[in-house]
Amino acid sequence: MVQFDNARQLVAKLAPERPVLCRRPHLAHRAASFFKERFPGHVFYAVKANPAPWLLEALHQGGIDHFDAASLTEIKLVRAHAPGATIGFMHPVKAEAAILEAYQEHGVRIFSLDSLSELAKFERVLPDARDLTLCVRLQVGSDLAKISLGSKFGAGEDTDAELLQQVRARAERLGVCFHVGSQAMSPVAFKGALDRAARAVRRAGVILDVLDVGGGFPAVYPGMEPPSLERYFAEIERCFETFPSAANAELWCEPGRALSADAESVIVKVMGRRGDSLFINDGAYGALYDAAHLGWRYPAQNLSRGGEEQTFGLYGPTCDDADQMRGPFFLPVDTQEGDYIEFGTLGAYGRSMVTGFNGYGSYLEAGLTDEPFSSLYHTGAEQKMAAEEMTR
């Protein structure tokens, strides 16, 4: 893997014609250590956010030894790149064949589910398994998050009590899990979900072994400056202390974005300019998927020139009208064809969304050793300030 100090050095040396995914293992390691040290429970990395083998290895080296997989493919990736790790198969709707293979061939014992029909699949394919941890996914609101995950999965208040009781009767360990939505902008999102989960557990009258608060932990993007992660952890810990669960119950979380966002960026080349629009060689069907489809604004810097800035909209390389990132992105007024632009904080849901549409989707890869554009992970003085903020 070629390595550079920063993106400017990279373009000076390589003048790349293809977009470049820039990996920063030191930042993945930093995020992993932060969660490991400060989250008061087990941390499962949600592989879907970024399944790159180098990232799985960096997180594993940083202390992450639990992984949340959504498919057999992700399970196999984790087995290959984080040997010995504990894996949860946390997609609530699974094929029976996938449940069986995960259990028999890959040693998976943790699964989530959200309906009696899913529970029946376990009865059919694993009738004798007495070592299952089954987590009932509850439907919770996504109001305080930028991306909703509240409508597709999760048992509602009309079905959750019976499901909890039936899973309790079947599983070695019973858990509840939920997802407050991705990029939750306030710790209150977790309080709301935990209150709702506590009501469900009380109504069902079951004893809980695992409380899994899911993902949703944020990263910093332009226009999105969440509170410190310590505040999220403190809120969750406070709720866990009074949660109706067994004395030895475990607390889990499943961060995807927060563990991966800082660790990758993409460098693109400007192929053309028309007024305030730039045509670049990555876009809606590549690593800038969320910039196009969700209007996400990643931090951007022109690597070829500086000076006074203006706002630009961007077009990606395919022939599709939807291949457009409206931004606005602030870049130098004289940005032109041939310039290179780096988009940062692209480690989460960037690489993982890439397609081969129109023949694009092929990237160079390089390692960089610099610091992120902005981050929730602090060192030295900032760490002290965050600690002070917590005690205020």
Instruction: Report, as residue numbers or ranges, the catalytic residues.
Output: 319
Single-letter amino acid, residue 315: Y
Rule CB under 6 A: say whether 208 interacts with ligand PLP.
no
Minimum CB separation of residue 20 from ligand PLP in Å reads 24
x/- letters, 55..94, toward ligand PLP (CB under 6 A): -------------x---------------------x----
By C-beta, is 317 or 372 nearer to ligand PLP? 372
In terms of CB distance, is 77 or 90 closer to ligand PLP? 90
Distance CA 70, CA 68 (A): 7
The answer to whether residue 262 forms part of the interface with ligand PLP (CB under 6 A) is no
For ligand PLP, the binding residue among 217, 221, 243, 363 (CB under 6 A) is 217
Stretch that binds ligand PLP, among 73-81, 226-234, 251-259, 292-300 (CB under 6 A): 251-259
105: left (phi over 0), alpha (psi -120 to 50) or beta: alpha
d(CA 263, CA 348) in angstroms, rounded, equals 8
Q: Name the segment binding ligand PLP (CB under 6 A); options: 2-10, 185-193, 214-222, 234-242.
A: 214-222
Residue 116, both tokens? 């009696």
| Integer CA distances (angstroms), 295 to 21, 284, 291, 298, in order | 21, 10, 5, 10
Considering the rule CB under 6 A, would residue 149 count as an interface residue with ligand PLP? yes
Determine if 182 is a binding residue for ligand PLP (CB under 6 A). yes
Tokens of 63: 């202390």
Map tokens 């710790």 to a residue: 187
**Closest distance of CB 269 from ligand PLP, Å:** 29
| Distance (Å, whole) CA 119 – CA 159 | 13
Residue placing its CB nearer to ligand PLP in the complex, 255 or 286: 255
Four-residue CA torsion sign, 181, 24, 285, 320 = positive
Nearer to ligand PLP, 23 or 48 (CB): 48
User: What CA–CA distances, in Å, run from 291 to 32, 67, 147, 213, 235?
Assistant: 26, 27, 13, 27, 30
Binding of residue 256 to ligand PLP (CB under 6 A): yes
Interface with ligand PLP (CB under 6 A): 46, 48-49, 68, 90, 149, 179, 182, 214-217, 254-258, 348
